[in-house]
Amino acid sequence: ETLQAILPGRRMREHLRNVRWVVIDEIHELAGDKRGVQLSLALERLSRIAKHRFQRIGLSATIGEPEKVADFLSGSGKKAVIVRSTELKDLYVKIEYVNPSKEDCEEAERLGIPASAVGRIKRICELISSSRSTLIFTNTREHAEALGSQVYALGYGNLVKIHHGSLSREIREEVESEFQTGKLKGVICTSSLELGIDIGTVDLVVQYMSPREATRLIQRVGRSGHQIKCLPKGYVIATWADDILESSILLKHVREDRLEGVKIHEKALDVLAHQIVGLTLDSGRINLGEAYETVKGAYPYRDIEPETFHDVVEQLHQQRIVNLRGETLTAKYPNTHRYYYENLSVIPDVKKYTVFDFNMKRRLGTLDQDFVARRCRTGAEFIMHGNTWRVISLDDENLSVEVEAATPTLNAIPSWEGEIIPVDYDVAVEVGGLRETFLKTASSRGDLTELSNLLHIDNSAAAKVLEAVETHIRDYPLPTDKRIVIEQFENCLIVHSCFGNLVNETLALILAAMLQAKYGTSILTQVDAYRIALIAPSKLHPKTVSDILLNLKPGDVANIVEGAIENTEMFAWRHWHVAKRFGAVEAKADYTMRRARLLVEAYRETPINFETKREILLEKMDVEKTSGVISKVSTGEIKIEAVQQKGIGCSPLALPIVDKIVPHNLLRPAIPSQPLAEIVKERLMSTNVKLVCVFNGDWEGVRAVKTLPDTIRCPKCGSTLVAVTYHGDQELLPIIVKKRAKKRLDAEEEEQWNRAWRSASLVQTAGKRAVLTLAARGVGPTTAARILRRYVRSEAEFYTEILKAEREYQRTRLFWD
């Protein structure tokens, strides 16, 4: 991004003319995304400036396809030399599953967290204590925060701190410094510490849950043992049967040097648009033919057609970003500069909304902007951390969503946060094959030791997998790489399909589109590497999906995906960001589903739409491998079994996805009114309020509501005319003094005086009960008077009335002036 910023600068160009070497560290991270495509074009622009033909050097410890990355680095028509290190290191990696002890169960009961989590935390902290310095990697920020809070809850907070991209730079640097100097023994982190940052010597790496990619496993464990001849050492702490098998397969791939391939964004049109503008700015004007040849010099654009290039130029011309006259492009100031510098980064600026439990006054987690825009309306219900929540209010300015606990329902929408690393097709297929291996072990009552050693997992992990398989096959057929199982659960169909995230995303899109066409109703989907959940308003028969898959032809896959993809919410969301990178949407414009849909319609058959489709098909789908799966279904190589729901639950192997789409407390009520009333009472009693004497204006004081007597009096004059205001109010007392001195009040002061008088009148009549009511959020004298006048049959009902008033204030306050 910095290179993008300095390339057009006159003074910097003079310095850049002398460049002799360009070194790209961790090149595998760039080759597979749009930042890399942007860099490849920037290097071609740099080569137009430089006096010498500079040397390009790419560095990486984890490249699955070195030849492809070498071509990407060198540019089209040029060749690179691949230099492999002779100091190839082995890795020590152990995969563990921790069974909770009796003590763990007791501690879990006390803290209100799962016993299995207590066992895992204790094992992680044991590993940290036994080493000088340990990095604990998680796959998401949510996991890092959750793990950190559990470590603190169990009393190990002195051992670790958290490090991820959402934390401020100051906090991250403080954690890095403490770790480097030895003040801190462990850091819980995401990919924020996976690459590049110098944090000193690391003795041990702990990966919490499967790393999901072989390259990630190498990169993360490789952060330890950075000295020559020193063996990198790591532990994977697995949480579930799939997690154990997946980690085992990834370790096997690492040992066989089978790393994930690189998917290069070929002919990315939004990046091309930005770089065409960059080329124009570099010299003020540029000939189209010259610009086209420069672009073709970059490997991702080596085959770009002149017509496609011209369509992008025409789009920019229509948006008045550049001026096209004949065969010459010129910069249109100030639009050209503003567009270029506002779009230096190709990473979408995705806002995070903090979710607060309104009743408990606590933070629950975060939601991505696209989920909030698509799903969060007042009254909407969604599932987070296994519980059902109803939206009370949405604050776009402060990026917050306030919710309350709701009665569990199957219509609640699963929440999601961020992009998770996809599991590769080959890995998921091998996990399916290992399930079959464990099935044979279960049938023959074979010894697990040999299998444990073969898979590099401990006996506890092998026993967990065997237990999961044995429990599942009591009532259900086992899903494997050769068997798809379609299971009904309430209004959901769970398609067990061991084909990885991208194939499952593609299958989910096809199945949802065909079910919607058949029944004329919306179908929601949730996907992981081994399952697809299809969520309908009413029950569907599993045979319906079985018939669709059996009748599908491999050649139909691409056509159905092409036709269905533009109607998805994912398309609208991605299209919005592509349009931003094209300059069709202002960089700071806020996303709404309605605007995004209108934009899709407005830009049909344009480079913006074409690029969105290309991006999704590359990053989120795999049409080719999905066609291969359908082909195997057609020939009978992959069998399909459809099963009805048995009892009130789902199959054991469906649990990981059912946990995301169905609330854990489905068969239990939401928070009952009595405990909720107690929570509200405790909160209000603990609130600090300021009391001000309205009678003489000669006293004010801050008190906690619970410390007050039933009758409230001014300690100086004994008057019962005492107003209630918030504890930090510095304005009310001077206004009362002014009023008592018979001085003129302005309109705003008069309003505050009247409010204080009404408040004091309530306190005079109802005493402490009035103070408690006025301490509630957003409850003024008018609302408080209504609550105090109302007949209530119990204390619980009284506090419920206060809570209703707080909710109403929260719901309507965003519409006030």
**What is residue 389's predicted lDDT score, i.e. its pLDDT?**
83
Amino acid at 409: T
Residue 190 to residue 394: CA distance in whole angstroms: 29
CA dist., res. 770 & res. 765, Å (int):
8
C-alpha closest to that of 240 among 662, 665, 653, 528: 653
Q: Which three-class secondary structure state does DSSP give residue 590?
A: coil
DSSP classification of residue 553: -
Could you count the other beta carbons within 10 Å of the beta carbon of residue 303?
11
The rounded distance, in Å, linking the Cα atoms of 485 and 483 is 6
- Res 151: pLDDT: 86
Spatial distance between the Cα atoms of 584 and 172, rounded to a whole number of angstroms: 35
Q: Where are the beta strands (DSSP E) in 492-556?
A: 492-496, 524-527, 531-535
Task: At 3, give phi and psi (nearest 5°).
Answer: -60, -40
Angle at which helix 593-602 crosses helix 569-582, to 10 degrees, equals 70
- What are the phi and psi torsion angles at 387 (to 5°)? -115, 155
Reduce the DSSP state of residue 64 to 3 states and report it. coil
What strands, in cross-sheet order, belong to the sheet with 700-704?
A: 700-704, 688-693, 722-726
Write 70-74 long-range contacts (CB < 8 A, 24+).
71/299, 72/27, 72/31, 72/36, 72/40, 72/262, 72/264, 72/299, 72/300, 73/24, 73/27, 73/31, 73/299, 74/299
Mean pLDDT by 10 residues, the chain (817 residues): 91 92 92 94 95 93 88 89 76 90 86 84 93 90 80 84 77 86 89 68 91 92 73 91 95 91 94 96 92 96 96 94 91 86 86 83 77 75 72 82 74 61 95 93 77 88 92 93 94 94 96 87 88 88 94 93 88 93 88 86 93 95 96 96 82 86 44 62 89 93 93 93 91 92 91 94 94 92 92 85 78 49
Top CATH class, 92-255: alpha beta
Q: What does the pLDDT read at residue 668?
A: 33
pLDDT per residue as tens digits for the range 632-679:
999 999 999 999 888 767 888 998 888 777 654 333 334 445 556 777
| Residue 86 CB neighbour total at 10 angstroms | 5
3-state SS, one letter per residue, for 378-425: CCCEEEECCEEEEEEEEECCCCEEEEEECCCCCCCEECCCCCCCCCCH
Full strand arrangement of the beta sheet holding 362-368: 362-368, 352-357, 400-405, 387-395, 381-384, 413-414
Which pTM value belongs to this model?
0.76
**The sheet that has 322-325: what strands, in order across it?**
285-287, 328-331, 322-325
The token pair at 95 is 């995969």
What are 592's two structure tokens?
Answer: 């709404």
